[in-house]
Copies of this chain bind each other. A is one copy, B any other.
Amino acid sequence: MDISTLSEKINHTLSTLRYGENPSELYEPIRYIMALGGKRIRPLLVLLAAKMYNEDVEKTLLPAAGLEVFHNFTLMHDDIMDKAPLRRGKQTVHEKWNANTAILSGDVMLVRAYQLMMQVAPDKLPKVLELFSQTAAEVCEGQQLDMNFEQRGEVSIQEYIQMITLKTAVLLGFSLELGAILQGAPDSDAEHLKAFGDNVGIAFQLRDDLLDVYGDKDKFGKQVGGDILSDKKTFLMLTALEQANETQLQTILGWRDRTGAETAEEKVKAITQVYDELHIRQQTEQQIDLYFRSALQHLDAVQVPDERKATLRGLALQLMERDS
């Protein structure tokens, strides 16, 4: 069973979900955001981990779908907080309807996510729900830290890593852990898969920071330098701030808060030059490599034959756009 077969199963499951009908103002936004698509990476990770222990993954489909509903709940609420106009090229829920609708539809999505997560064997229920709840709270903590950091002057690299771990990585880790738990994998396997997912998640987020500056414009699909233009405290920026000499620091601080379109190109060029001088690209790649290696070590420690890990390993490599 390859990834595209698993993806079909996930999409079919998602298409069968019924969130509710009345009042339509509450439930229509849920159908809307769930129909915007996306890679459905979290349910896919559930199924890939599950498949390592049992080819039959049917019983993991509903909780896997619950993770996707949960993820989209976080997007709906984050978009309000970030005042984001667009999500996957379409109007965000709070733009298409209003903030109140996005708050309340999001709330009921979290309830629906729990209801899907509850569709597991009774003996697994306490553990699954406790780990899910813990992860859900961590994701909220990550979002709060992210908002805090926007307001704060200084943020350390360590704090930044903690923030992306909570906001993004732990849910990927839990997805794999969930798949393992549902198939009765040994605890140590479930924990190594969780650690694999956490580390891949951190590496993936750092790579996202890197590509914003050094990515191939056509491939990346976003404006190069968007993070620089919006003064975002990325791994690159925080590393540069830690290592900059007086002149470089003046350059960075001199450009801060200057978000005008007419000087955009010049700003990206100036900051990128500081990054180049400090070898920020290489340092970031080194960090990514560290997290990715750590991830693979955890995957190695999982006690199943290597051939059963091949798809998951392949997906991770593909996410990192690496050949080996």
Contacts and interface: CB of A to CB of B under 8 A. Distances in A.
A100 B22 contact: no
Contacts of A145: 23
A28 to B, nearest CB: 11
Copies of this chain, complex-wide, total 2
B26 A104 contact: no
Interface string A143-177: 11101100000000000000000000000000000
Dominant SS at the A interface? helix
B100 A140 contact: no
Nearest to A21: B141
A20 interface: yes
Contacts of A23: 141, 144-145, 148
A144 B26 contact: yes
Given A110-B107, A118-B130, A133-B114, A141 B77 contact: no
A302 B100 CA distance: 40
A11 interface: no
A167 to B, nearest CB: 12
A22 B125 contact: no
Contact of A140 (B107, B137, B147): B107
Interface in A105-143: 106-108, 110-112, 114-115, 118, 122-123, 125-126, 129-130, 133, 136-137, 140-141, 143
A276 interface: no
A81 B107 contact: no
Interface in A222-258: none
A201 B5 CA distance: 50
A100 B122 contact: no
Contacts of A108: 136-137, 140-141
Which 5 residue pairs of A and B lie closest in terms of their CB atoms, listed nearest first?
Answer: A26-B144, A81-B100, A108-B140, A111-B136, A23-B144
